[in-house]
């Protein structure tokens, strides 16, 4: 076999998996169906400092902005500032970042084939055969292990019977002229009329431009139009929308991300935080484990599911509890009325609580803050917040 590990999809998860497979000694191929890496891309590019570190890229020209915090607007338009007082997140240009990550995979030793779309995967003794169309011609690519990093609609997962993500919501966004309240802060908007069960955002990119978007279970276009034309804060500032993008965002994971000769990672597996709906941090972390386990198993000559399950055990060990917390939070948040949300924001508007959020807030691991919060539950305002959550949950 020419390749030990073939990775399908050159997004952040695929490039990182390919890098780690190559670093661990496997002959590695990274396949991308588009002729250009990083395009088209559906992403705001808002990632934490920790997520960028996980991507293993030096700070470069793909960073648009450094962000310190957020203004969170309740449905009644009362807002609270959450100020991290140092760079907490970055706004990145995914098109450039994805290319840098693919380059890092090639530097580690992986080959890259562009304009190659995988149609299906067949299991064969000791490995798999990928059926693909490359440069317009049908081709077969034998490998010991395939890593499916082919995004939320993953053909690889379906092709080998690993099924579907339990729920997929839609993310929609425009880039528009919009003077941010502060260039170092993102703006978050809550309220059922504009964004039922989710939140909307305005994320500064450069100059007086922002990426403005939201998530929705249906009618995403309708809600975005409404936000841009009617919202008290947004409609006054948003002008000249360009670059409309839209994409599926997984909520929940595949039941299993492993079968004989196959691992699934990134959006394809559902490696997305169900609180902020970002997938880059978890996807790249899990991709490192996938690349390493795939390489080791391929080189040992045992690619059966029992051997590859090390990957599933390790990523669930790292993220299982956080995912469970996120799904529970999502359920409670989804049930909150506008009055509940107004009450919650009012309860958080307290210097000590905001300080605690500054100290413990982590968009990649929100459960850390929740634990701190519960520890303070004797304080009257926190108590109000906890009671509100309990009422909504019950």
Give contact residues for ligand FAD (rule: CB under 6 A): 8-14, 31-34, 42-47, 117-118, 149-151, 155, 171, 173, 213, 245, 247, 249, 266-268, 272, 278-280, 283
Minimum CB distance to ligand FAD smaller for 95 or for 381: 95
Q: How many residues does the chain have?
A: 394
Smallest gap, in angstroms, from Cβ of residue 7 to ligand FAD?
A: 9
Minimum CB distance to ligand FAD smaller for 29 or for 382: 29
Minimum CB distance to ligand FAD smaller for 265 or for 388: 265
Minimum CB distance to ligand FAD smaller for 44 or for 259: 44
Smallest gap, in angstroms, from Cβ of residue 300 to ligand FAD?
A: 26
Minimum CB distance to ligand FAD smaller for 284 or for 342: 284
Minimum CB distance to ligand FAD smaller for 231 or for 273: 273
Secondary structure, 3-state, 176-210: EECCCCCCCEEEEECCCCCCCCCCEEEEECCCCEE
Residue 268 · residue 152 · CB < 8 Å: yes
Smallest gap, in angstroms, from Cβ of residue 249 to ligand FAD?
A: 5
Residue 30 · residue 111 · CB < 8 Å: yes
- Strand, coil or helix: 313: helix
Minimum CB distance to ligand FAD smaller for 57 or for 376: 57
Minimum CB distance to ligand FAD smaller for 195 or for 344: 195
Sheet strand arrangement including 89-92: 46-48, 89-92, 63-67
Cα–Cα distance measured from residue 288 to residue 281, given in angstroms and rounded to the nearest whole number: 11
Give the residue nearest to ligand FAD (CB): 279
Bridge partners, residue 167, by sequence: 251
Smallest gap, in angstroms, from Cβ of residue 130 to ligand FAD?
A: 9
Smallest gap, in angstroms, from Cβ of residue 330 to ligand FAD?
A: 15
Tell me 17's DSSP state: H
Query: Which of 239, 231, 190 minimizes the C-alpha distance to 210?
Result: 239
Minimum CB distance to ligand FAD smaller for 274 or for 279: 279
Buried/exposed code over 40-73 (b: 16+ C-beta within 10 A; e: otherwise): ebbbbbbbbbebbebbebeeeebbbbebbbbbbb
In terms of C-beta distances under 8 Å and separation of at least 24 residues, what long-range contacts does 219-227 make, across chains too? Answer: 220/170, 220/171, 220/172, 220/246, 221/172, 223/172, 223/194, 223/195, 223/196, 224/172, 224/173, 224/174, 226/193, 226/194, 227/189, 227/194, 227/195, 227/200
Smallest gap, in angstroms, from Cβ of residue 16 to ligand FAD?
A: 8
Smallest gap, in angstroms, from Cβ of residue 234 to ligand FAD?
A: 16
Helix (H), strand (E) at residue 118: strand 116-124
Smallest gap, in angstroms, from Cβ of residue 213 to ligand FAD?
A: 5
Secondary structure, 3-state, 120-168: EEEEECCEEEEEEEECCEEEEEEEEEEEECCCCCCHHHHHCCCCCCCEE
Minimum CB distance to ligand FAD smaller for 221 or for 304: 221
Smallest gap, in angstroms, from Cβ of residue 374 to ligand FAD?
A: 27
Smallest gap, in angstroms, from Cβ of residue 377 to ligand FAD?
A: 31
């Amino acid at each position: 076999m020419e390749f030990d590990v073939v990775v399908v999809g050159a997004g952040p998860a695929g490039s990182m998996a390919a890098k780690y497979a190559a670093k661990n000694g496997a002959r590695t191929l990274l396949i991308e169906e588009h002729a250009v890496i990083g395009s088209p891309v559906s992403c705001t590019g808002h990632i934490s400092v920790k997520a960028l570190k996980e991507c293993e890229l030096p700070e470069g020209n793909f960073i648009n902005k450094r962000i310190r915090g957020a203004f969170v607007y309740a449905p009644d338009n009362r807002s609270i500032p959450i100020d991290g007082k140092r760079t907490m997140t970055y706004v990145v240009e995914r098109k450039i970042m994805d290319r840098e990550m693919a380059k890092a995979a090639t530097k580690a030793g992986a080959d890259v084939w562009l304009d190659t779309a995988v149609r299906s995967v067949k299991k064969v003794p000791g490995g798999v055969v990928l059926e693909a169309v490359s440069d317009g011609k049908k081709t077969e690519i034998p490998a010991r292990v395939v890593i499916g990093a082919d995004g939320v609609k993953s053909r690889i997962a379906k092709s080998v019977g690993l099924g579907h993500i339990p729920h997929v919501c839609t993310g929609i966004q425009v880039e528009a002229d919009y003077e941010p309240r502060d260039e170092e802060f993102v703006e978050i908007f809550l309220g059922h009329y504009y964004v039922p069960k989710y939140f909307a955002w305005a994320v500064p990119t450069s100059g007086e431009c922002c990426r403005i978007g939201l998530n929705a279970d249906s009618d995403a276009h309708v809600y975005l139009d409404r936000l841009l034309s009617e919202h008290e804060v947004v409609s006054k500032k948003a002008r000249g929308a360009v670059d409309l993008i839209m994409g599926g965002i997984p909520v929940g994971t595949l039941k299993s991300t492993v079968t004989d000769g196959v691992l699934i990672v990134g959006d394809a597996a559902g490696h997305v935080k169900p609180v902020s709906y970002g997938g880059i941090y978890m996807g790249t972390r899990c991709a490192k484990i996938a690349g390493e386990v795939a390489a080791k198993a391929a080189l040992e000559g045992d690619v059966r599911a029992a051997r590859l399950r090390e990957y599933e055990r390790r990523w669930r060990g790292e993220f299982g509890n956080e995912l469970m917390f996120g799904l529970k939070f999502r359920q409670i948040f989804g049930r909150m009325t506008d009055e509940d949300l107004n009450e919650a924001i009012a309860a958080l508007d307290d210097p000590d609580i905001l300080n605690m959020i500054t100290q413990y807030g982590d968009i990649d691991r929100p459960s850390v803050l929740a634990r701190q919060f519960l520890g303070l539950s004797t304080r009257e305002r926190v108590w109000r917040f906890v009671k509100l959550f309990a009422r909504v949950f019950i």
